[in-house]
Copies of this chain bind each other. A is one copy, B any other.
Amino acid sequence: MKKVGVALLGLGTVGGGTYQILTSMKEKIKQTEGVDIDVLYIIDRNKDRAKKFGLDPKMISEDFDAVLKDDRVSIIAEFFGGIEPARTYLLKALKAGKSIVTANKEMFSKHWHELELAAVEGNAGLYFEATSAGGVPIIRALTESMQGNEILSIQGIVNGTTNYILTKMADEGRDYLSVLKEAQDLGYAEADPTADVDGYDSMYKLSILSSLCFKKRVPIDVIYREGISSIEKIDIEYGSRFGYTLKLLAIGKMNNGKIEARVHPSFISNDNPLASVKGSFNAVLINGTNVGDVMLYGRGAGDLPTGSAIVSDIVFCAQQTKHKVMRFGRVNVEEDFEDDFECEYYVRMNVVDKPGVLAKIAATFGKYEVSINSVEQIAAKGAADIVFMIHKTQESAISKAIKEIKSLDIVNKVNSLIRVL
């Protein structure tokens, strides 16, 4: 029976969930997986956390050097979050020949290349299932099930907070701020919700997932990012009338050898399997050249779902004699990425209610070769809301068209521009 010594860096939510699972599943894992896992060290500044798990506070220390020197430790699982000291500790671990398992999406997306070099140097493994979509086994599927495919696209609902908020806004017809407040009270959103609602969390995850999909590093710098804080309930309602659901999507595509990577609110057809992903659930839909569409769905966060991903990586890692190395080529930011992507659009504006207004706006769209699919005018007193559905066009074209439209005196306000998948 292979004995596997593990160190846990952090005993917060995910570290605690991991510790719980390793303890409750120890015998079962020995039986079914043939590995005997022991938690030899827990590194955390807060010894009080031990009490929650019935541990002797002496089990918790701050001595990372002891972990590095101990040959019994072959795997280090990291739950500190943030860039430092996680990055420094993990680089040392890898160079010392110890494999790492992490949930740290920000650190991993920013320092993957460096970590990879250290892993090769130390002949150790990098495992990161828990960085993207919690318990949903998307990373393992991408690395161990898609070998017979080129991946053409990935679309993901990878942030539970924003999906919870958008689901509630739609189901209950409520506005963003009121649902955000409720989400914060219930623990679905942080006191400072920026990382989630402004799309940073989804961006880090897309960087990791799209790199795996396209076998090229997709740094966060090339990812267009737009969050949900400007979403108004009226747009969700109008979209619904047209058969659309609003989601914050992380989208990666390979188009003629160039990679597109973007995070933004998107209307998706109610027929799209992603449309039925509700509340804080996550889902990732990939399209492979031979397998076609494959979607994975599950809980994207929480101590036990994320702990499940960490434990899966620990066991998988323990069973490898040779760890995979991601052979990503060097990227050329100018040549390898497409930022002038194509999309369909939903545009809502408020205009003066008099003859000739629609014609003038349509002409302005036409000037930039932006083609209108449909128009709906919802009259009000002296002003009108107009909703345009725009045919597939380029970002640059619609940006210019909207800029000019905003300057027209007949246009009171361009309220919303939402991309349609």
How far does the Cβ of A242 sit from chain B's closest Cβ, in whole Å? Answer: 19
- Given A276-B276, A290-B21: A147 and B307 within 8 A (CB)? no
- Given A21-B290, A140-B140: A148 and B295 within 8 A (CB)? no
Q: Binary interface profile of A, 249-278, with partner B (CB < 8 Å = 1, else 0)? A: 000000000000000000000010101111
In the complex, identify which listed stretch (A62-70, A82-90, A309-317) lies at the interface while the others stay far away. Answer: A309-317
Q: Binary interface profile of A, 302-338, with partner B (CB < 8 Å = 1, else 0)? A: 0011011111100110010110000100000000000
- Given A291-B135, A292-B298, A296-B296: A311 and B147 within 8 A (CB)? yes
Would A327 and B292 count as touching, CB distance under 8 A?
no
Identify which of B28, B145, B304, B307 contacts A312 (C-beta below 8 A). Answer: B145
**In the assembled complex, which residues on chain B have CB atoms less than 8 Å from the CB atom of A135?**
288, 290-292, 294
Residue total for A at the interface (Cβ-Cβ under 8 A): 54
> In the complex, what residue of chain B is closest to A274 when comparing beta carbons?
B276
A149: CB under 8 A from chain B?
yes
> In the complex, what residue of chain B is closest to A35 when comparing beta carbons?
B147
Assembly CA distance A149 to B32 (angstroms): 11
Can you list 14 A-B contacts (CB < 8 A)? A17-B290, A32-B327, A135-B294, A140-B141, A141-B141, A144-B312, A145-B309, A147-B311, A149-B308, A273-B297, A290-B308, A290-B311, A292-B304, A294-B298
- Known contacts A148-B308, A295-B296; 6 further A-B pairs (Cβ under 8 A): A25-B148, A129-B145, A135-B290, A148-B310, A271-B278, A297-B297
